[in-house]
């Protein structure tokens, strides 16, 4: 199956400290996104499968007036563990400007009565209200038991899901679900809005940063805005905002490829023969590819194969096993250095990647029928790439591949 999400890089301007209505975006819907802060570093220095540390930020855009928000940022705990978080960000979405010191005798922006300073009491509460640098609140790591455990292919028989094993993605969230959700649970906002200038924030800004350690692979970070409130008056209860109308975007990390594997019928030179090729598209560097082709042995019988250009036979070993009685052909392509840990001697460019034709398989037609189906079962496809940092092959998650499982051929 294929999941395609753009890798989003956001630019933001902090406007929460401004009272000028020209800084509002009333015509645009509020947006909530994750910004991958160290994206350029990870993408330039690490390969898929490497151990990495992620730096992410929760960001708001086009926000209406609000003084508090409750949120959740989920992550795949089978791939990542939470290291820390930080909401003492300056400027923050919830940073406020405070009341102006006037006159400011020592020009330090702080009201000091003993020095002869004065201030403009904008909210009329009889006290000077300084700038608020950071929000108050709490962020914690939390879990929820869902009971919705998805099935996985326990390839090594250890009874637990391991990175790279195939799984049945029932909910389409790009992560194996073991019945437990793990997430950052946060409630942040402006302290004492009745004594703060302004009492509410709006516009665009960062809310919280998150730091995680784990495996660099395609994974999604869903966001949930639980509730948000706007402060109106000290004698009134805060008003809850309609957060369901906000645009909340899940974020995907580490999806530089969108691999496709499929069969293709080639031109026939003989009415008693049919040739199909195995085609690959947008694949990462491969150290190994294994798949099975099945066919109806009452209609077709295996004749021969020809290795095409995608895998250079100088760098790859090719294994083909045919079982004509069962109508099955097993193919395996292994790079000569797939199991080597001598990184310094390995030619990075010798590993095939991208798109191309892998192999042609020719069958004899043994029937008067004019049509048949050849299959490429996705549960029999596996692939590995190579980590050039540590000198080790690692399995690719086939849930991010598109496997076109059937080809109808005409004779």
Q: Which pLDDT tens digit goes with each residue over 372-399?
A: 999 999 999 999 988 776 677 878 778 7
Q: What pLDDT sits at residue 400? A: 72
Q: What pLDDT sits at residue 112? A: 65
Q: What pLDDT sits at residue 51? A: 86
Q: Where are the chain's structural domains?
A: 21-96+131-253, 260-410
Binning the chain into helix, strand and coil, the percentages to the nearest 5 are 10, 45, 50
% of the chain surpassing 70 pLDDT:
78
**Is the model's pLDDT at 151 over the cut of 60?**
yes
**Is the model's pLDDT at 25 over the cut of 80?**
no
For 394, the token pair is 């690692």
Q: What pLDDT sits at residue 391? A: 78
- Mean of the pLDDT values across residues 300-315? 95
CATH number for domain 21-96+131-253, candidates 1.20.1740, 2.60.40, 1.10.357, 1.10.540: 2.60.40
Q: What pLDDT sits at residue 206? A: 96
pLDDT digit string (tens) for 164-222?
Answer: 566 666 655 555 566 678 999 999 999 989 888 888 999 999 999 999 999 888 788 99
| Cα–Cα distance list, 386 to 46, 162, 229, 260, 289 (Å) | 12, 17, 49, 19, 12
Query: What's the pTM?
Result: 0.56
- Mean of the pLDDT values across residues 340-362? 90
**Category of 159 on φ-ψ map: left (φ > 0), alpha (ψ -120 to 50) or beta:** left
Q: Which of 8-12, 122-126, 394-398 is predicted with the least confidence, judged by mean pLDDT?
A: 8-12
140/146 Cα distance (integer angstroms) = 19
Q: What pLDDT sits at residue 388? A: 75
Nearest-CA neighbor of 391 among 345, 351, 353? 345
Average pLDDT of the chain, as a whole number:
83
The enclosing H or E element of 78 equals none
193/158 Cα distance (integer angstroms) = 54
Number of Cβ atoms within 10 Å of the Cβ of 261: 22
Q: What pLDDT sits at residue 45? A: 82
Q: What pLDDT sits at residue 174? A: 53
Q: Which CATH architecture has domain 260-410?
A: Sandwich (2.60)
**Within this chain, domains 21-96+131-253 and 260-410 share the same CATH topology:** yes
pLDDT digit string (tens) for 44-103?
Answer: 788 777 889 999 999 999 999 999 999 999 998 888 999 999 999 999 999 987 766 667
| Cα–Cα distance list, 222 to 39, 54, 76, 174, 181 (Å) | 18, 15, 10, 10, 11
Cα dihedral value 319, 323, 324, 328, nearest 10: -80
pLDDT digit string (tens) for 236-292?
Answer: 999 999 999 999 988 878 766 778 999 999 987 777 899 999 999 999 889 999 999
Nearest-CA neighbor of 35 among 224, 210, 212, 167? 210
The residue count of the chain comes to: 411
- Mean of the pLDDT values across residues 158-165? 61
Number of Cβ atoms within 10 Å of the Cβ of 115: 12
76/78 Cα distance (integer angstroms) = 5
């Amino acid at each position: 199956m294929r999941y395609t999400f753009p890798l989003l890089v956001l630019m933001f301007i902090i406007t929460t400290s401004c009272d000028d209505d020209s800084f509002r975006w009333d015509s645009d819907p509020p947006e909530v996104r994750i910004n991958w802060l160290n994206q350029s570093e990870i993408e330039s220095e690490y390969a898929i499968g490497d151990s990495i540390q992620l730096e992410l930020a929760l960001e708001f855009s086009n926000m209406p007036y609000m003084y508090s928000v409750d949120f959740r940022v989920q992550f795949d705990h089978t791939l990542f563990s939470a290291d820390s978080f930080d909401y003492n960000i300056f400027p923050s979405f919830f940073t406020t400007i405070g009341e102006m010191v006037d006159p400011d005798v020592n020009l330090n922006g702080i009201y000091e009565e003993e020095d002869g300073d004065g201030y403009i009491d904008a909210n009329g509460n009889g006290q000077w209200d300084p700038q608020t640098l950071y929000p108050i609140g709490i962020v914690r790591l939390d879990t929820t038991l869902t009971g919705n455990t998805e099935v996985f292919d326990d390839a090594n028989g250890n009874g637990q899901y391991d990175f790279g094993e195939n799984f049945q993605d029932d909910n389409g969230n790009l992560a194996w679900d073991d019945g437990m959700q793990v997430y950052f649970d946060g409630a942040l906002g402006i302290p004492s809005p009745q004594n703060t200038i302004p009492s509410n924030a709006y516009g665009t800004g960062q809310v919280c940063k998150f730091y995680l350690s784990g495996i660099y692979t395609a994974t999604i970070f869903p966001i949930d805005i639980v509730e948000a409130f706007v402060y109106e008056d000290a004698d009134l209860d805060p008003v809850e905002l309609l957060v369901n109308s906000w645009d909340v975007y899940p974020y995907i990390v580490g999806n530089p490829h969108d691999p496709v594997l499929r069969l293709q019928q080639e031109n026939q030179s003989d009415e008693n023969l049919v040739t199909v090729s195995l085609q690959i598209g947008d694949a990462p560097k491969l150290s190994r590819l294994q798949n099975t082709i099945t066919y109806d042995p009452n209609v077709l019988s295996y004749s021969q194969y020809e290795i095409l250009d995608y895998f250079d036979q100088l760098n790859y070993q090719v294994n083909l096993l045919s079982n004509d009685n069962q109508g099955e052909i097993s193919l395996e392509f292994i790079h000569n250095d797939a199991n080597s840990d001598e990184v310094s001697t390995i030619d990075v460019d010798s590993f095939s990647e991208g798109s191309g034709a892998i192999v042609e398989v020719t069958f004899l037609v043994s029937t008067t029928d004019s049509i048949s189906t050849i299959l490429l079962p996705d549960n029999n496809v596996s692939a590995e790439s190579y980590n050039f940092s540590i000198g080790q092959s690692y399995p690719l998650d086939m849930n991010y591949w598109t496997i076109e499982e059937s080809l109808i051929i005409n004779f």
